[in-house]
Structure formats: structure tokens, C-alpha cells
Amino acid sequence: MSGLPDDFVFRPDNFSGRARLFPLPNLVMFPHVLQPLHVFEPRYRDLLADALAGDRLIAMAVLKPGWEADYEERPPIHPVACLCRVVTHQALADGCSNLLLVGLRRLGVVRELPPERSFREADVLVLDDSYPAESAGRRPDLQRRLIDHFRHLMPNVQELHQQLDEVLANDVPLGMLTDILAFTLKLDLETKEQLLRETNVDRRAGRLLEAMQSQSESGQANAKFPPDFSEN
């Protein structure tokens, strides 16, 4: 994410490998994107206070189906999360908070820690994008097709097209482009979670293109931009 102060740039060498988990049932965060978040549950207020007192990092995880029966405890999460940093924080009079998060990197959840705190924590691994050499020649065409389909799906959001033009002018990697598009589009939760889990950029781009083609054929309405606050 360009334009962020140096204090908000993620440096893997300085990362402890332990993350505060903020699991939600209906939000899949991706690297390189911004998301407003409203925090009101006591355990997540505790998590936020701990993050703000330290590195400001929060791992946004996705709850697996069936979470409703055990939401107040520790329902299972999908194995890949998105490490985020709190960019801005607004404390409200009722003790709740409004945040702006920026997605930084994918994380593989290795193991959850024992429940010694009010919020969940896990040992994690930073997952890097992979760019197989054998498919490098196909990437420019794949990127062009993704952009064309995206413009077709969201033809009337002028602000978004301007931001996309800025992104393209900076010659962003295909991995970053797929993350931005996957987050912005109104894809089903399972598809978004699969795209987050995929570190092979070419496969991720191919799956995203298939999902966009399916949306285009169905005439499905697309996501609101900018995104609304997500509530925990």
C-alpha cells in the first residue's frame, strides 16, 4: 500500500510470529486494501488495546461454517488469515472504537495458543506470493483480462476507476492486483476465502477471472465502494 508512513510499513524481520486473532464470519481481508471496522465486543476491545499498546497488528481471520453454535467461545477458523495494521483509531464515548485497517500479508495459522487471555492468539507464518517462472509470459494477458472484466462489472463507479488507473500506472504486481479486485468485488465468502488461501499468483488470478466471468454472465450486482464499516 503506497503512501503509508514508514511506521506502518510491515517488516517481516521484526515480526514475532505471534498474532492476535480477530475472527469474523462475514469479512475476508486481503493484503493491500483498506477496511473500516467497528469494535464493540469486550474481548475485541481488549485485543485492540493490546495492539495499540504494541505493534498495532491484528490478524483478521474467517470463521468456518457452523460458527453460530460456539461464537462466544473459540469456533474453528480457516487456516489462512490476513495480517493487518491499525492505521487510524477513534475511541468512542461508549467504549467502542472505529478503526481503519490496512491489509499487509497473508498468514498461515500454525497453532492457536491456550486461552489465557480474553482474545485469541496464534503462532503464524508469513506466506509470500509465488510467481512460477514457467507462466511469466502469460501474466500480461491475464492482467489485462482481469482489468477488462472488472471495468465491465463495475462500470459506474468513477472513483474506483480513477484509483484503478493510478494502481496500473504504478505497474503493480499481479498478486497485488488480484487482492485489490477480489476484496472489492461482491464475491461469495467461500470464493474470497479460497482466493486468500492461494499463494500461487497465477492460480489465484485464474480463479478470480473465472469468478468474474461467472458474475458477468449472471448479471449479478456488485459491491459498494468504498466499503461500509464491518462490525465485529
For the chain, percent of residues with pLDDT exceeding 70 = 83
116 pLDDT band (50/70/90 cuts)? very high
Average pLDDT over every residue of 50-68: 93
Give pLDDT tens digits for 69-87. Answer: 777 778 999 999 999 999 9
Give pLDDT tens digits for 131-181. Answer: 999 999 999 999 989 988 888 887 665 666 666 666 665 578 999 999 999
Same topology between domain 6-128 and domain 133-218? no
Superfamily classification of domain 6-128: LON domain-like (2.30.130.40)
Residue-range domain boundaries for the chain: 6-128, 133-218
Is the pLDDT at 230 greater than 70? The verdict is no
Using CA atoms in the order 183, 193, 100, 227, what is the torsion angle rounded to 10 degrees?
40
Q: Which fold has domain 133-218?
A: Methane Monooxygenase Hydroxylase; Chain G, domain 1 (1.20.58)
Evaluate if pTM is beyond 0.75. yes
Identify the pLDDT of residue 151: 84
Give pLDDT tens digits for 117-131. Answer: 999 999 999 999 999
